[in-house]
Structure 1
Amino acid sequence: MSFLNLGIVAHVDAGKTSLTERLLYAGGVIDSLGSVDAGSTRTDSLELERRRGITIKTAVASFPLRDVTVNLIDTPGHPDFIAEVERALRVLDGAILVVSAVEGVQAQTRVLMRTLRRLRVPTIVFVNKIDRAGARADGLLRDLAAKLSPRIVPLSTPRDLGTPSATALPALPSGRIVELTGDDQLLTSFVRDERSLPYRKILAELTRQSDVQPVFFGSAVTGAGVDALIDGLATLLPTAGGDPEGPVGGTVFKVERDPAGARVAYVRMFSGTLHVRDRLPGGTVTAIEGRDTLPAGEIGRVHGLRDVRIGSFPPSADAQLFAPPTLSTVVVPKDPADRHALHTALTELAEQDPLIGLRRDDEIAVSLYGEVQKEVIETTLAEQYGIPVTFRETRTIHIERPAGTGGAGATLGEYFMAALTLEVSPGAGVEFELDVPIEQVPIHVFRTAEFFREALESAVRTTLARGPHGWPVTDIRVHVTRTGFRSPATTAADFRKLMPIVLTSALRRAGTTVCEPIHRFRLDGPVTTLGATLAALGRLGAAPESSEAGPAEYVIRGRVPAARLRALEQAIPALTHGEGVLESTFDSYRPVAGRP
């Protein structure tokens, strides 16, 4: 049996969950179609998802397609939950990008297609809602080519567009397919005898290499065009690869809790075969739902990994696909007696979404992508954990970077039964170096120099979570040049407690620069509003860097502080008569002006 791990991604409200429901119905998995509006869809299992009519958590469902089992991964569309999408994209063999025939290409649509193309995930575009009033075809195809990919190939043509009876007829633009190959020999054969070429085979090869993006029109609600889409899934997208006999390797892309509170890991295997009783970084596998093994290419729910974390095994330094969250808020229990329970609950939520970035010192704070995510956290804490909470004002997350070099040290017995000398200086990320002779390593406590280094580095990273100005410290090099101990009196706790004292002292001597996050933005709007928009951007804190004006539309590119992005988003509809589209991505950090 072959497997296809298929993701469905879209801007919010494009009809992604409705398409998931339609595919499951066509595959015979469900007996009747659920409705997003009625809260009865299969993949939106959370009560909050059903109430709001949006997908919040990635969901997985399977259906048979000829001789292939499709693992269908429904992802959130709202940008506040982009971290869920990122984890899903790492385990896909192919994707369907859903675009509304009414709203067309939206900001999140662009971000998703850009990421899919960068990862070279074979992608089919499904233009949904052809039955809705205002649906477009030719103009939308031009937008797809201009804003998503110039290498689109329409494989269906809509009829009776914008009416309940809208349908989509198959199309096979043979000349377009040959043109996109860039193969002169094929072009010659096409001119000589157009009927001699295997166009579907050529198109399948180009799609599987992520060189073209086929486009189907249809409606997930009425089912129009869905049969052609399903045929495209079977013939155009690649099935999962990987050697079941190779070394064990895979990715945990989702963690949830079962009714008993135990962790359940969603695992995609890329190599080897996972067995019950195998040991992984998060523990020992006690069960794999519905089977005894999980071979390469498959997705399964794995039990027994008590300390499992989202990520790859063996560990790999995967680059982050989307921007880190740039907002933060303090969570306050309405009943002060719930403080410990609140921290426990947020710790569980951080297991499911590591980018929540839980921090606890005098207060409990979480990282956010937006206000909708804050509302979801509030509702989840109240309904699932019975902890009513309030939030302080949302703030922009800043970072601190060392402004220079600084050193500090402590002698044996000055604070604890340990000695430590170190120096901090500018670096890249967080760099840690232990540079001491073996006789300065307390072997009676840590057994090896490597265990000692790991313990000190852990204490360093914990300390750097809050710098002199209260923000995380990064782009720093910490160089430990001397340690000391007394056997057998010195314990691991002595070094763990001493490191924050010495490191904080060194940071204060070096000084730190507080930096704010900056977003790069692109704004499309009607050319008649260009002058007014350019004049207003400066007042909104944005810095335009280039502008291009066409006959009907303009494009402005520039940078804006993350703290001003929300105000810019709110102003765009009025500035552009409701026609502007703002797309933003994290760019960099820069020093704040004035006193931090």
Structure 2
Amino acid sequence: MPLKNRDDIRNVAIVAHVDHGKTTLVDAMLWQAGAFTGHDAESHTVERVMDSGDLEREKGITILAKNTAVHYNGPAAQELGIDGGVTINIIDTPGHADFGGEVERGLSMVDGVVLLVDASEGPLPQTRFVLRKALAARMPVILCINKVDRPDSRIEAVTEEVYELFMDLLDDADQNSAALEFPIVYASAKSGRASLTRPSDGEQPDSRDLEPLFRTILDTIPAPTYDPEVPLQAHVTNLDSSLFLGRLALCRIRSGTINKGQQVAWCRSDGSMQKVKITELLLTEALERVPATSAGPGDIIAIAGIPEITIGETLADVDDPRPLPLITVDEPAISMTIGTNTSPLAGRVKGSKVTARLVKDRLDKELIGNVSLRVLPTERPDAWEVQGRGELALAILVEQMRREGFELTVGKPQVVTKEIDGKIHEPVERLTIDAPEEHLGAITQVLAARKGRMEQMSNHGTGWIRMDFIVPARGLIGFRTEFMTETRGTGIANHVFEGYSPWFGEIRTRQTGSLVSDRTGVATTYAMFNLQERGSMFLEPTTEVYEGMIVGENSRADDMDVNITKERKLTNVRSAGADVLERLIPARNLSLEQSLEFCREDECVEVTPEAVRIRKVVLDHNLRARSAARAKNRD
């Protein structure tokens, strides 16, 4: 029997590099489709509604893939003769390479993609990553050149760069030139305008709304197809939770229909099957999930009633179960050890979670919804090796746990190696840097020390240059801080996983040592004033410290044990610290990501709900000295 179409549905993912405007574009589509009513619609007070998490709003990035539904009933739908309009299910995916697992899950739910590219920056590493995934799945692509109204936009040049990227990736995917015949939409997501006619650089699209984009989606993205003879198949692609319904499984229905209260076959990841009941069925309308009685092929639904269901599993017909393939993602490239807090200050915060059981339960919970994460045991019963795509993804997990009240000890990020043909291989990243021309020498020198190899360099004639490097992932640990220092905060660096290469050899990433407290006490202004010539401080006066805690960065390569609790001898002539307080250099307050970058192999980060501290793994100075002596003798 021939396949049938659901003409009233389109499933599309918005994919792009970080900060190219995905979430802003989805917001504009929701506004123009009438998703907001009342005060919000009049005042336009809602911004970046898809970035609902606290960390997403603080960092200005999308971390979790989310879906929304736009009900479009404009001229394009009427011309196609679709009564009642079209439901466009939109997946807003992350743009950062560390959250690539979310991108892959999003692509498994859709039939095509809108590739968003900044009209000034052009295609960047994550653009290559998401486009490669879309072409491998043989999905139709709509190119949307966004931010065409930027003063520094270069629309024609960016379009040519995208064509070159397609040519490069099509060679890898062994596809024909038909994939190059993609439509191009020129847009300003912030203004809510799009056009099929290329505007001049820096000018707005000639259309007053996003109607050209909606029309292109309906013309280019195919409607979901299904075989009416095939029974129910619903693929679980994501998980969510509800205070009232418990765990929700987000599914894309491939064939058949599903009804509220229906008995279905739950095809589990271990190969077993179990009969379960759908207690609640929800469909997405704009930003809300609304109850429904049934759903059919192509619908993206949320179901409740199966507390232990996980991503990649299938809901099928009880009498004729046909499980779908499990979702696979790329291998993790970075790992770090996460364990209980073992510092002398552990458990000081009221209500904090400090036991190994609580930490392990939280990590196991994270595994349920994060397909790109792995948790492995270590030699210690209170610590685990957590593997992920990159430093940012792991740092986000630690930050979320910190905000939930956990106290942790987090080790220095390491790369995940694999053995190929008897040789150790390590993950390699493609690094793209945009920076002012005067910093070219400093950047190449920094990356040469980190085993980076320049592949391409281009000059856009604006005083800025773009450089492409192939760098071992190990060499990028701690790179961002040094890079921002060398470029005085002006440089932009982005990277994406490229593959595995033979071990590059030893890399010395940090040229400075640490200032380590040699005793427990309270940091004094007098001691810090005398030490600031030796390096920069990480804490303020009156901060409680302990032996082995890192209180600053030494200007020399070696570590130095210091007494930061030393007090001035008081006399009846002058008060303690009054004359030095004004001359004390402000401390460098490191964020969690910066603290992880700063760590060396013998250091770790203590994370509590109230503070982030860097410390030595072995706190006792004598034990560290003996360990160093033994290591030297072995060499």
Q: Which residue of 2 aligns with 1:540?
A: 450
Q: Which residue of 1 aligns with 2:427?
A: 518
Q: Is the 8 A contact 2:433 2:468 kept in 1?
A: no
Counterpart-to-counterpart distance in 2, 1:530 and 1:46: 37
**Structure 1 residues 269, 151: closer, same or farther in 2, change over 3 A?**
same
Q: Which residue of 2 aligns with 1:279?
A: 265
Q: Is the 8 A contact 1:287 1:302 kept in 2?
A: yes
Q: Which residue of 2 aligns with 1:288?
A: 281
Q: Shift of the alpha carbon at 1:133? A: 2.9
Q: Is the 8 A contact 1:254 1:265 kept in 2?
A: yes
Q: Which residue of 1 aligns with 2:92?
A: 74
- Correspondence for 1:330 among 338, 350, 367: 338
Counterpart-to-counterpart distance in 2, 1:522 and 1:584: 7
Q: Is the 8 A contact 2:12 2:221 kept in 1?
A: no
Alignment of 1:136-215 (within 5 A): 136-148=154-166, 210-215=179-184
Q: Which residue of 2 aligns with 1:446?
A: none
Q: Which residue of 2 aligns with 1:348?
A: 365
Q: Is the 8 A contact 1:525 1:580 kept in 2?
A: yes
Q: Shift of the alpha carbon at 1:296? A: 2.0
Q: Shift of the alpha carbon at 1:395? A: 2.4
Amino acid at match of 2:191: T
- Correspondence for 1:134 among 114, 137, 152: 152
Q: Which residue of 2 aligns with 1:28?
A: 34
Count residues in correspondence. 428
Q: Shift of the alpha carbon at 1:266? A: 0.6
Q: Which residue of 2 aligns with 1:87?
A: 105
Q: Which residue of 2 aligns with 1:236?
A: 220
Counterpart-to-counterpart distance in 1, 2:23 and 2:434: 29
Counterpart-to-counterpart distance in 2, 1:376 and 1:38: 28
**Structure 1 residues 58, 398: closer, same or farther in 2, change over 3 A?**
closer
RMSD: 4.0
Q: Is the 8 A contact 1:151 1:212 kept in 2?
A: no
- Correspondence for 2:22 among 2, 11, 16: 16
Q: Which residue of 2 aligns with 1:492?
A: none
Q: Is the 8 A contact 1:39 1:53 kept in 2?
A: no
Counterpart-to-counterpart distance in 2, 1:111 and 1:13: 15
Q: Shift of the alpha carbon at 1:9? A: 1.3
Q: Which residue of 2 aligns with 1:300?
A: 301
Q: Which residue of 2 aligns with 1:562?
A: 473
Q: Is the 8 A contact 2:18 2:61 kept in 1?
A: yes
Counterpart-to-counterpart distance in 1, 2:158 and 2:470: 28
Counterpart-to-counterpart distance in 1, 2:10 and 2:182: 17
Instruction: Name the structure with the higher helix share.
Output: 1
Question: Any stretches of 5+ residues in structure 2 without a counterpart?
Answer: 1-5, 78-84, 171-175, 195-209, 269-273, 283-290, 315-322, 348-352, 507-633
Q: Shift of the alpha carbon at 1:558? A: 7.1
Question: Any stretches of 5+ residues in structure 1 without a counterpart?
Answer: 153-180, 183-205, 402-427, 429-474, 476-512
Q: Deviations over 1:544-565 (max 9, x none)?
A: 6x66889989998775432113
Q: Shift of the alpha carbon at 1:62? A: 0.9
**Structure 1 residues 223, 96: closer, same or farther in 2, change over 3 A?**
same
Q: Which residue of 2 aligns with 1:381?
A: 401
Q: What's the secondary structure of 2:372's corresponding residue?
A: helix
Amino acid at match of 2:267: P
Q: Which residue of 2 aligns with 1:504?
A: none
Q: Shift of the alpha carbon at 1:264? A: 0.7
Q: Is the 8 A contact 1:39 1:50 kept in 2?
A: no
Amino acid at match of 2:426: P
Q: Which residue of 1 aligns with 2:356?
A: 339
Q: Is the 8 A contact 2:12 2:110 kept in 1?
A: yes
Taking structure 1 as the reference length, what is the TM-score of the superposition?
A: 0.62
Counterpart-to-counterpart distance in 1, 2:54 and 2:257: 35
Counterpart-to-counterpart distance in 1, 2:181 and 2:333: 32
Q: What's the secondary structure of 1:95's corresponding residue?
A: strand
Q: Which residue of 1 aligns with 2:388?
A: 368
Q: Which residue of 1 aligns with 2:67?
A: 60
Taking structure 2 as the reference length, what is the TM-score of the superposition?
A: 0.58
Q: Deviations over 1:50-69 (max 9, x none)?
A: 33332211111112223321
Counterpart-to-counterpart distance in 1, 2:41 and 2:53: 14
Counterpart-to-counterpart distance in 1, 2:365 and 2:424: 30
Percent identity for Structure 1 against Structure 2: 23
Q: Is the 8 A contact 2:124 2:432 kept in 1?
A: no
**Structure 1 residues 34, 292: closer, same or farther in 2, change over 3 A?**
same
Counterpart-to-counterpart distance in 1, 2:51 and 2:460: 43
**Structure 1 residues 307, 62: closer, same or farther in 2, change over 3 A?**
same
**Structure 1 residues 60, 34: closer, same or farther in 2, change over 3 A?**
farther
Q: Is the 8 A contact 1:75 1:85 kept in 2?
A: yes
Q: What's the secondary structure of 1:255's corresponding residue?
A: strand
Q: Is the 8 A contact 2:65 2:102 kept in 1?
A: yes
